[in-house]
A = this chain, B = another copy of it.
Amino acid sequence: MTKSSTTVRQRIVAGAADMMSRRGLNATSIRETAKHARAPLGSTYHYFPEGKQQLVTEAVRYTGEWTAASLRRELEAGPVAGLGAFLALWRRIVVDSGFRAGCPVLAVSVEEPPTDEPPAALLAAADVFTEWENLLAGSLREHGVEPRKAAQLATLVVAAVEGTVAMCRAKRSPQPLDDTAEQLRDLILAAITD
């Protein structure tokens, strides 16, 4: 594998994640992802021999890792800071794209694959959600929140952010994210000062 190959591969994955977040899983075609990365169609199947399933799974994991890294970094300043960064990250993506982009992990979680059984991309999406929840829950526990409540709050935060991103897209407004942000912030503040 040459150096430029690696770069093309990464461009394809990142581009696929972006397209999935806009059009959804099914409407993101291998053809278009290749064109977007200025790579011929055949190359995509060279880099991703298992086809679309492999590409979208990597796109989900890529988004998951990228977001988790940001979350991990910001959580060092505490749960409220982490929550703020998490919300700001998605707000930027939604607003900067003119309410066209969203979360590719959510896209995968909403569209059932044609085949009957355990699609790799959906399993990856579940893992990504769990990782984000674990990061948040861990930080909450470190700040005195009891484990059960920490886990529930973490789930609520991730779910609320994902749902709000979709609502902002539909309404073409950042208002839902701002409303959710304020309520979640109060909730986390109250939890860690109990």
Q: Which of B22, B110, B170 is the one whose CB lies under 8 Å from A169?
A: B110
Contact with B along A23-36 (1 / 0, CB 8 A): 11111000000000
Check A111/B27 contact, CB under 8 A, given A122-B170, A130-B171: yes
A100-129 interface (Cβ within 8 A of B): 100, 102, 106-112, 114, 122, 125-126, 129
List B contacts of A159 (CB < 8 A): 159-161, 163-164, 166-167, 176, 180
List B contacts of A22 (CB < 8 A): 112
Chain A interface size, under 10 / 10 to 19 / 20 to 34 / 35 or more: 35 or more
A177 to chain B, nearest CB (A): 9
Give the contact stretch, choosing among A45-53, A67-75, A147-155: A147-155
Q: Are A106 and B110 in contact (CB under 8 A)?
A: yes
Q: Can you list 17 residue pairs at the A/B interface with Cβ under 8 Å?
A: A23-B112, A24-B26, A107-B110, A107-B111, A110-B110, A110-B166, A122-B169, A125-B170, A152-B179, A152-B180, A152-B183, A156-B160, A156-B180, A156-B184, A158-B163, A159-B159, A160-B163
Interface of A with B (CB < 8 Å)?
Answer: 22-27, 100, 102, 106-112, 114, 122, 125-126, 129-130, 151-153, 155-156, 158-164, 166-167, 169-172, 176, 179-180, 182-184, 187
